[in-house]
Amino acid sequence: MFVRLRKRSLAVLLVAGAVPVMFMLYFIFTTEDVVSNHDRILEADVLESKIVQRLRDTENQNIVLRKELSQTQNQLLRLQMTLAAANESTKMKCLNAEPDVPKCELIHVAIVCAGHNATRDVVTLIKSVLFYRRNPLHFHFISDPIAQLILSKLFETWSVAEVQYSFYPADSIKPDVTWIPNRHYSGVYGLMKLTLPKTLPLNLEKVIVLDTDVTFATDIAELWKIFRVFKGKQAIGLVENQSDWYLGKLWKNHQPWPALGRGFNTGVILLELKMLRELSWMQMWRLIAEKELMTMLYVSLADQDIFNTVLKQHPYLVYRLPCQWNVQLSENTRSEQCYSEASDLKVIHWNSPMKLKVKNKHVEFFRNMYLTFLEYDGNLLRRELFGCTNADDTAHGQDLLSELTDDDDCYDFRREREMTHRTHLYYLDYSYEPQSDDVTLVAQLSMDRLQMLEMICRHWEGPISIALYMSDAEAQQFLRYAIGSETLMSRKNIGYHIVYREGQFYPVNYLRNTALQQVKSPFVFLSDIDFLPMYGLYEYLKKAASMMDISHEKKALVVPAFETQRYRLEFPKSKAELLSMLDMGTLFTFRYHVWAKGHAPTNFAKWGTATTPYKVEWELDFEPYVVVRRDIPSFDQRFLGFGWNKVSHIMELDAQGFEFVVLPNAFIIHMPHAPSFDIAKFRSSSVYRKCLKILKGEFQRDLSKKYGIKALKYLSVE
Ligand SMILES: *[C@@H]1O[C@H](CO)[C@@H](O)[C@H](O)[C@H]1NC(C)=O
Ligand SMILES: *[C@@H]1O[C@H](CO)[C@@H](O)[C@H](O)[C@H]1NC(C)=O
Ligand SMILES: CC(=O)N[C@H]1CO[C@H](CO)[C@@H](O)[C@@H]1O
């Protein structure tokens, strides 16, 4: 009851003006931070000037965005707290205005979603729905395999309470609609909405159908309860088309499909599935469409043309929804006549190719609202409480946490290890078929290393699987950055997997595992974002992997690692050039000064003269960059942030009997950067170091349990 009050009032307040206020903050530029950041970059004064400029722009935008976002979220929190403090009398008032939808009634929503780009839109829509909702929800997705992969991982890792989801493969629906000639950009997918009474489970009686380009400004239960006022054979709730399209006067000889008056827009539909099935809906629309197509030849607006023509013949089917439930921002629209106050509107439909640039007297308000959800921290939407949450759902996580005690030095680590990071796979278009000897470069990064991506692309033309650790707002920054980069946009063989930020440590091994799991090629090169591969490394590694037969033999091919302290490095074009730079002191073996142990077993002296691959022995703390087959053990996620995250993995490869073979003509070079936050923490915190020791011990014990006697050596060496 209390929760309801809070959310109800919040929604009202937000719509009534809080959002515009919050978002005025969006464009405030805080010069102080930006200047200090410039200094940091200028000090470096190094990378090619274009990259520096881009990096600087991105970083500046980032700082501003981060600030804005935290201000927004603070403001939201403050609002929520203020409302939570509201007194009894207000509570009573809200009780009286309680909606007709019973507290725990499940609301069903169907969305057609196909391809990489649509999954990004759908997340924004879902965030807006979750923000205002008070009921359990069930999302029904009509999806292609790409969207299903992305959305199932997303929901699984998001774990929002009281949200269920199902998928219906678009491929099996296609035969029902591919016969219709269609000129709409949504392609065959838009038409699939027509098949919902057949596609959705027979026991499902009603559903709200949404396009991916709508944003909610209110509780979806208010829309759901409109089903109750349907009368007679009313089975389809729709808002009128707010443009003049179906009036047929847009241009000379403009001939739209037949429609009732202005026609209806199908961006938001209430479907009474049970009634439609009783009326043999599938046959009904098919016959009408076939007949109409004899003269119209094709549909221009996909499903919408057919819905409209059916309704013209069977007007009793339609229930006219108030226009605020689908405020259409396409050009030529009368949407402004629909509502007098911005606070009246319920759903905004971005059905214009201009999207955020549309002309409308409230466009700023709409834009701010859209941006709010675009950049809203999705993790916050998990914590909504409902009286109807199943006790079992929450118990699990609680148990794990209650076993942890505060006086454990590793409390913070262990707690964060139990965290599931919300993950959006393939954030951008991806399309690549690996070859039989293919090698994928695997790496992970956070926003501060974004500029390395383009550089790596210039050195590695093969496939890349990369995990990006970002906030929701940073992901938007990344998207803009990527779209603006010719180098990145010209590549379709890079899988970008966003892992949303949460907690205080960088979950390095979760990131690595996420990128590793998405690899499609037989082999992987486990690298790091700060390394530039030698030119031609991709081709060389493919050959080496087949020649050394690593798909059958347990071998890890070591790519020797070097480093430079110089930003303006003339990148060596050959091993000979690299060796002379080593002599001259422009290059060093990796971590030569601070942690030589990590790479000493590579035996750089031998490498200098080697012309054939040579085997080396594993030693404690060895952490080479290796090429291995894809199905190696995953990285141990107990190691967060800095320290032992890779050493532990190499140790496990050794325990499994992998041989380490150094490649004589391969190398990578580490480029300089400011120390990461986690390294700084490691250096300054004794608790951190103490805990790392404990975790190492636990890992080694686990290893000897798993691999028996031969793993005892890992115990004794400490
Ligand atoms: C609490 O209720 C009283 C009247 O019942 C009202 O005058 C007062 O403004 C309310 N306070 C808040 C913070 O809403
Ligand atoms: C997806 O979005 C990107 C960036 O806006 C665009 O370049 C690309 O063409 C879109 N892909 C598809 C298949 O629509
Ligand atoms: C907005 C809508 O529901 N449908 C169509 C109405 O007309 C415009 C053209 O003016 C189309 O672009 C819309 O898709």
449 and 352 co-located in one domain: no
Of the candidates 140, 145, 143, the one whose C-alpha atom is nearest the C-alpha of residue 166 is 140
Inside any domain, residue 277: yes
Pocket of ligand 2 (CB under 6 A): 115, 117, 429, 483
Signed CA dihedral, 494, 498, 503, 504: sign only: positive
Q: Higher-confidence residue: 699 or 679?
A: 699
> At residue 18, does pLDDT exceed 60?
no
Rounded Cα gap, residues 482 and 491, in angstroms? 11
Inside any domain, residue 241: yes
> At residue 173, does pLDDT exceed 50?
yes
Query: Which atom, in ligand 3's list, is nearest to the CA of 242?
Result: 1
Q: Is residue 310 within 8 Å of residue 317, measured between CB atoms?
A: yes
Residues 581-625 pLDDT 10s: 999 999 999 987 888 889 999 999 999 999 999 999 999 899 999
Determine the distance separating the centroid of ligand 1 and the alpha carbon of 78, expressed in angstroms: 18
- Look at residues 97, 132, 164 and tell me which one is the last residue of a structural domain: 97
- Look at residues 70, 97, 124 and tell me which one is the last residue of a structural domain: 97
93 and 111 co-located in one domain: no
Q: Higher-confidence residue: 292 or 717?
A: 292
Mean pLDDT across the stretch 210-220? 93
599 and 511 co-located in one domain: yes
- Look at residues 312, 347, 380 and tell me which one is the last residue of a structural domain: 380
Unique residue bearing structure tokens 């759902």: 393
Confidence at 16, pLDDT banded by 50, 70, 90: very low
pLDDT number for residue 140: 98
- Asked whether 352 lines ligand 3 (CB < 6 A), one says no
> At residue 300, does pLDDT exceed 80?
no
- The neighbouring-strand residues paired with 349 are 214, 328
- Asked whether 89 lines ligand 1 (CB < 6 A), one says yes
Signed CA dihedral, 171, 172, 173, 174: sign only: positive
93 and 119 co-located in one domain: no
116 and 62 co-located in one domain: no
Pocket test for ligand 3, best of 330, 332, 350, 354 (most atoms within 8 A of CB): 330
Q: Which of 137-141, 389-393, 482-486, 665-669 is predicted least confidently?
A: 389-393
Residues 484-538 pLDDT 10s: 999 999 999 999 999 999 988 899 999 999 999 999 999 999 999 999 999 999 9
Q: Which of 230-244, 320-334, 349-363, 682-696 is predicted least confidently?
A: 349-363
Determine the distance separating the centroid of ligand 2 and the alpha carbon of 121, expressed in angstroms: 12
Confidence at 245, pLDDT banded by 50, 70, 90: low
Report how far apart, in Å, the C-alpha atoms of 12 and of each of 97, 345, 363 are. Answer: 13, 11, 19
pLDDT number for residue 19: 39
Query: Which atom, in ligand 2's list, is nearest to the CA of 115?
Result: 13
Q: What is the mean pLDDT of the chain?
A: 82
> At residue 716, does pLDDT exceed 50?
yes
Mean pLDDT across the stretch 447-453? 92
181 and 41 co-located in one domain: no
- Asked whether 90 lines ligand 1 (CB < 6 A), one says yes
Confidence at 94, pLDDT banded by 50, 70, 90: very low
> At residue 267, does pLDDT exceed 60?
yes
Q: Which of 285-289, 386-390, 451-455, 493-497 is predicted least confidently?
A: 386-390
pLDDT number for residue 92: 39
Query: What is the pairing mode between strands 588-589 and 561-563?
Result: antiparallel
267 and 215 co-located in one domain: yes
Rounded Cα gap, residues 426 and 226, in angstroms? 37
pLDDT number for residue 24: 36
Rounded Cα gap, residues 175 and 191, in angstroms? 11
> At residue 98, does pLDDT exceed 80?
no
Quote the number of domains for the chain.
3
Inside any domain, residue 407: no
> At residue 10, does pLDDT exceed 50?
no
> At residue 307, does pLDDT exceed 80?
yes
Determine the distance separating the centroid of ligand 2 and the alpha carbon of 492, expressed in angstroms: 11
pLDDT number for residue 112: 96
pLDDT number for residue 404: 63
pLDDT number for residue 240: 85
Percent of the chain with pLDDT over 70: 74
Determine the distance separating the centroid of ligand 1 and the alpha carbon of 23, expressed in angstroms: 29
Of the candidates 203, 293, 241, 239, the one whose C-alpha atom is nearest the C-alpha of residue 285 is 293
> At residue 11, does pLDDT exceed 50?
no
Unique residue bearing structure tokens 């047929």: 248
Write down the pTM of the prediction.
0.82
Query: Which atom, in ligand 2's list, is nearest to the CA of 117?
Result: 1
pLDDT number for residue 684: 64
> At residue 715, does pLDDT exceed 90?
no
Inside any domain, residue 75: yes
Domain that holds residue 61: 2-97
The amino acid at residue 168 is Y
Q: Higher-confidence residue: 390 or 182?
A: 182
Inside any domain, residue 318: yes
75 and 165 co-located in one domain: no
Rounded Cα gap, residues 528 and 118, in angstroms? 30
pLDDT number for residue 32: 35
Closest ligand to C-alpha of residue 189 is 2
Pocket test for ligand 2, best of 113, 117, 185, 428 (most atoms within 8 A of CB): 117
118 and 85 co-located in one domain: no
626 and 478 co-located in one domain: yes
Rounded Cα gap, residues 523 and 630, in angstroms? 5
Determine the distance separating the centroid of ligand 2 and the alpha carbon of 328, expressed in angstroms: 23
Inside any domain, residue 607: yes
Of the candidates 320, 682, 709, 289, the one whose C-alpha atom is nearest the C-alpha of residue 508 is 682
Mean pLDDT across the stretch 666-677? 83
Q: Which domain CATH number covers 548? A: 3.90.550.10
Inside any domain, residue 394: no
Confidence at 95, pLDDT banded by 50, 70, 90: very low
Signed CA dihedral, 83, 88, 90, 91: sign only: positive
> What element of type H or E holds 609?
helix 604-609
Mean pLDDT across the stretch 164-172? 96
Residues 464-480 pLDDT 10s: 999 999 999 999 999 99
182 and 43 co-located in one domain: no
Pocket test for ligand 3, best of 211, 265, 329, 352 (most atoms within 8 A of CB): 265
| Most confident range, picked from 55-69, 81-95, 234-248, 693-707 | 693-707
Inside any domain, residue 391: no
Q: Which two tokens stand for residue 228?
A: 């109750």
37 and 170 co-located in one domain: no
Report how far apart, in Å, the C-alpha atoms of 389 and of each of 95, 133, 136, 163, 500 are. Answer: 20, 14, 8, 10, 25
CB atoms within 10 A of CB 463: 25
> At residue 86, does pLDDT exceed 60?
no
